[in-house]
């Protein structure tokens, strides 16, 4: 029987990586589909950014990565001085196009209630999860989109 004095809290990146490695090996062992994806290189994240500059100034950008045939949008930011002029939509559309070129079939992201859930919904994203009181009084939305449904209308720029 495990004794509670054997439990310890740490902040070790080495321990965190060991846990990820152990879980990854376990996943490959128990799921043939997961193992096939790892063997095909789908488990390796391909990060990229799409940026808009005015001279030397960054006006907006999107940072994301493609992994397991999914675009994961980490950050989309547009400068206050150009918000509402379509730059966010252009960045998102270009990132989706780039992700499809890298093999993505779907996209996922999260956004707070005070950020841009309606912006993403207007661009075909659907809410698949909601986390309330994160932090207290705020709501975090999880959204997804199937990218290949509309792939014929994507720009090639």
Could you report the per-residue pLDDT of 9-18, keeping only the tens digit for each?
A: 889 999 999 9
Average pLDDT over the chain reads: 92
pLDDT number for residue 46: 96
77, 119: one domain = yes
How many other CB atoms are found less than 10 A from the CB of residue 32? Answer: 9
Same domain as 128, residue 71: yes
Same domain, 34 and 79: no
Judgement on whether residues 75 and 123 belong to the same structural domain of the protein? yes
Domain-embedded: residue 5: no
* Residue 137: C-alpha distances to residues 113, 119, 124, 140 (Å): 10, 21, 27, 10
Residues 48 and 36 in one domain: no
Are 93 and 104 in a shared domain?
yes
Residue 7 lies in a domain: no
The DSSP line for 29-59 is HH-HHHHHHHHTTTTS-EEEEEEEEETTEEE
Distance CA 99, CA 96 (A): 5
Confirm whether 23 is domain-assigned: yes
- Given a contact cutoff of 8 angstroms between Cβ atoms, the answer to whether 146 and 105 are in contact is yes
Residues 100 and 28 in one domain: no
Q: Does any domain span residue 6?
A: no
Examine residue 146 and state whether it is found in any structural domain, yes or no: yes
pLDDT tops 80 at residue 3: no
Render pLDDT for 77-124 as a digit per residue (tens, 0 to 9).
999 999 999 999 999 999 999 999 999 999 999 999 999 999 999 999
Determine the structural domain holding residue 57 and report its residue range: 44-153
pTM of the predicted model, to two decimals? Answer: 0.85
Co-location of 131 and 92 in the same domain: yes
Pair (117, 75) in one structural domain: yes
Residues 121, 99: Cα–Cα separation, whole Å: 19
What's the structural domain count of the chain?
2
């Amino acid at each position: 029987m495990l004794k509670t004095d054997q439990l310890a809290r740490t902040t070790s990146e080495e321990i965190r990586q060991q846990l990820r490695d152990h879980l990854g090996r376990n996943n490959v062992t128990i799921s043939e589909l997961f193992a096939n994806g790892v063997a095909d290189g789908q488990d390796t994240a391909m990060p990229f950014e799409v940026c808009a500059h005015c001279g030397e100034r960054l006006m907006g950008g999107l940072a994301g990565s493609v992994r397991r045939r999914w675009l994961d949008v980490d950050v989309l930011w547009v400068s206050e001085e150009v918000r509402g002029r379509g730059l966010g939509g252009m960045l998102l559309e270009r990132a989706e196009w780039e992700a499809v070129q890298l093999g993505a079939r779907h996209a996922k992201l999260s956004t707070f209630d005070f950020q841009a859930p309606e912006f993403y919904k207007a661009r075909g994203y659907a809410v698949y999860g909601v986390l309330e009181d994160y932090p207290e009084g705020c709501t975090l939305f999880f959204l997804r989109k199937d990218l290949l449904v509309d792939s014929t209308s994507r720009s090639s720029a």
